[in-house]
């Protein structure tokens, strides 16, 4: 085979071993990019779905925590109180008593006086639900309510003590001695979990019932000094229903600790979302749940004028309904997720109803 034939064969081999054409490369690249885009889209969709689920779980946990503790308190509303509620000091020399305030004099809801100087088991707070009337940015234009519920704390055995008024104290000082009828003896009132400054104590005997705010205590005494933060200790009130009126009775007096619990929203100044707060008696409030942006209550109240049940009333005080006839409390909690995806957050609500089993009973079927 000559040189010429060898050269032709090499040229032929070079011609038949060519690579991909430009069109083939472009088609392959397009297919690859399409597959890659589909995979990225699928991955992003999965991540977004996971993020949304996480936001919803977070929000639901906060709302359920808020709802559970409120339901527990509202379910006890009116327990241990006299039928229909408890009259507070009135008459000449009496001034309005307070709820939702602490020992420093700070009141955490805009309107904090008991209606008509009367302590009901449930005190609605229509449009009274944000501390300092602050604006909730995440829920513009929505109504925010508060609620205050009052009931006897039967877990604290203050009723297992015999109460005696100290002569000359004008009802501002009482002594307590363990009632020997109870075995074992009751826990000391100044033990852990016992009385705290600002607690409310209801005293009862055959002269009636009265409420005082604890301003001092030892293992055997409780002081109800005037000028207390909640303005309960009013010896100068000309009408009875103050602690001094009970001194007229010559029989044993029984003491009970009351819980006056107020739920409201506060807007932190550092840019955090609003949070639900729980304030008891004259104590410092504590946070219950974060990222609660709206709180609303409505009430099923028996109307003594029409003889019918006024259902789902947001403002029973404004309608002139009797608060001691509230039969059911309807609650709506609106929450917002703390975790955000850019500017996107999840908002959702939770609703329930609580029967006021300890309030005044009315048989509307008779």
Q: Does residue 20 belong to any structural domain of this protein?
A: no
Mean pLDDT over residues 186-207, rounded? 91
Number of compact structural domains in the chain: 1
E strand spans, 117-230: 118-119, 122-125, 146-152, 161-165, 173-178, 200-205, 208-213, 216-217, 221-223
- 189 in a domain, yes or no? yes
Q: Domain of residue 263: give its range.
A: 54-355
67-109 residue pLDDT tens: 999 999 999 999 999 988 899 988 877 889 999 999 999 999 9
Considering the chain, what is the average pLDDT of its residues? 84
**Percent of the chain whose pLDDT exceeds 70:** 83
Looking up tokens 């947001």 gives 314
pLDDT in tens, 270-310: 767 789 999 999 999 999 998 888 999 999 998 877 778 88
Of 18-27, 138-147, 152-161, 191-200, where does mean pLDDT reach its minimum?
Answer: 18-27
Domain membership flag for residue 44: no
pTM: predicted TM-score of the whole model, two decimal places? 0.84
Contact of 291 with 275, CB cutoff 8 Å: yes
Residue 37 lies in a domain: no
| d(C-alpha 331, C-alpha 204), whole Å | 33
Q: Strand 275-280 to strand 254-266: parallel, antiparallel, or no bridges (unpaired)? A: antiparallel
Q: For residue 131, which phi and psi values (nearest 5 degrees)?
A: -55, 130
Residue 192 has pLDDT above 50, yes or no: yes
Does residue 227 lie in a domain region? yes
Number of other residues whose CB lies within 10 A of the CB of residue 33: 10
On whether residue 33 sits in a domain, the answer given is no
360 found inside a domain: no
User: 128 pLDDT exceeds 90?
Assistant: yes
């Amino acid at each position: 085979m000559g040189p010429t034939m060898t050269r032709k064969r090499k040229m032929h081999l070079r011609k038949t071993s060519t690579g991909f054409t430009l069109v083939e490369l472009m088609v392959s690249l397009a297919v690859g990019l399409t597959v890659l885009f589909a995979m990225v889209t699928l991955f992003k969709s999965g991540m977004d779905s996971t993020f949304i689920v996480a936001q919803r779980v977070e929000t639901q946990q906060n709302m359920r925590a808020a709802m559970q503790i409120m339901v527990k308190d509202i379910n006890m509303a009116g327990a241990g109180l006299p039928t229909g509620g408890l009259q507070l000091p009135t008459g000449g020399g009496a001034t309005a008593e307070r709820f939702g305030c602490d020992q420093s004099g700070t009141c955490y809801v805009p309107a904090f006086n008991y209606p008509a100087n009367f302590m009901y088991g449930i005190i609605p707070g229509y449009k009274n639900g944000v501390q300092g009337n602050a604006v909730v940015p995440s829920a513009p234009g929505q109504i925010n309510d508060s609620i205050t519920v009052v009931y006897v704390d039967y877990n604290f055995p203050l009723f297992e003590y015999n109460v005696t008024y100290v002569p000359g104290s004008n009802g501002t000082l009482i002594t307590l001695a363990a009632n020997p009828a109870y075995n074992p003896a009751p826990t000391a009132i100044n033990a852990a979990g016992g009385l705290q400054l600002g607690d409310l104590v209801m005293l009862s005997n055959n002269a009636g019932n009265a409420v005082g705010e604890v301003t001092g205590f030892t293992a055997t005494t409780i002081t109800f000094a005037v000028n207390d933060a909640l303005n309960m200790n009013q010896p100068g009130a000309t009408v009875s229903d103050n602690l001094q009126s009970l001194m007229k009775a010559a029989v044993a007096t029984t003491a009970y600790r009351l819980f006056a619990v107020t739920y409201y929203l506060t807007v932190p100044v550092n840019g955090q979302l609003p949070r639900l707060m729980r304030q008891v008696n004259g104590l410092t409030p504590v946070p219950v749940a974060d990222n609660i942006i709206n709180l609303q209550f409505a009430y099923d109240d028996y109307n003594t004028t029409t003889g019918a049940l006024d259902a789902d009333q947001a403002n029973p005080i404004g309608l002139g309904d009797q608060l001691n006839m509230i039969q059911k409390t309807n609650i709506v909690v609106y929450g917002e997720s703390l975790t955000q995806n850019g500017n996107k957050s999840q908002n959702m609500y939770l609703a329930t109803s609580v029967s006021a089993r300890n309030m005044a009973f009315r048989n509307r079927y008779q």
